[in-house]
Amino acid sequence: EELIGPGLGIQASPAMLKQWNRDVFPDGAGLPSGQGSAREGEVVYRAHCIGCHGPEGRGGSAEELAGAEHSLIDDPPDKTIGTYWPYATTLFDFTRRSMPLSNPGSLTDDQVYAVTAYLLYLNRIIGPDDEMNAQLLPAVVMPNQDGFIDNYRRDD
Partner 1 sequence: QGLIFTAATWGALSSQTATAELERESWTKQPGKPFSNYGAPSDYEKKVIRWIMANDDAPGNGVSWTPLHELEGIVTPSGLHFERHHNGVPAIDPERHRLLIHGLVKRPLTFSVSDLLQYPMQSRLCFIECGGNSNAGWRSEPIQTQVGYFHGMASCSEWTGVPLSVVLQEAGIKGRAKWIIAEGGDASMMNISLPLDKALDDCLLALYQNGERLRAENGYPLRLLVPGWEGVLNVKWLRRLHLAAKPVMARNETAKYTELLPSGKARQFSFVMEPKSVITHPSFGHRLDRHGLYQISGLAWSGRGKIAKVEVSADGGKSWAEAELQEPVLPQCFTRFRIPWRWQGQDVVLKSRAFDETGAVQPERSELIAKRGRHGYFHYNAIVSWAITEAGEISHVYL
95 in contact with ligand HEC (CB under 6 A): yes
- Asked if residues 89 and 139 have their Cβ atoms less than 8 Å apart, the reply is no
- Asked if residues 64 and 122 have their Cβ atoms less than 8 Å apart, the reply is no
Q: Which of 56, 78, 130, 131 binds Ca ion (CB under 5 A)?
A: 78
Which range, of 7-15, 19-27, 50-58, 146-154, touches ligand HEC by CB under 6 A?
A: 50-58
φ, ψ (nearest 5 deg) of residue 98: -120, -15
Q: Please give the residue ranges that form the binding site for partner 1 (CB under 8 A).
A: 1, 3-13, 15-26, 51-52, 60-62, 71-73, 75-77, 79, 81, 84-87, 89-90, 93-94, 96-98, 101-109, 147-152, 156
Separation CA 32–CA 103 (nearest Å): 20
Q: What are the residues binding ligand HEC (CB under 6 A)? A: 48-49, 51-53, 62-63, 65, 91, 94-95, 99-102, 115
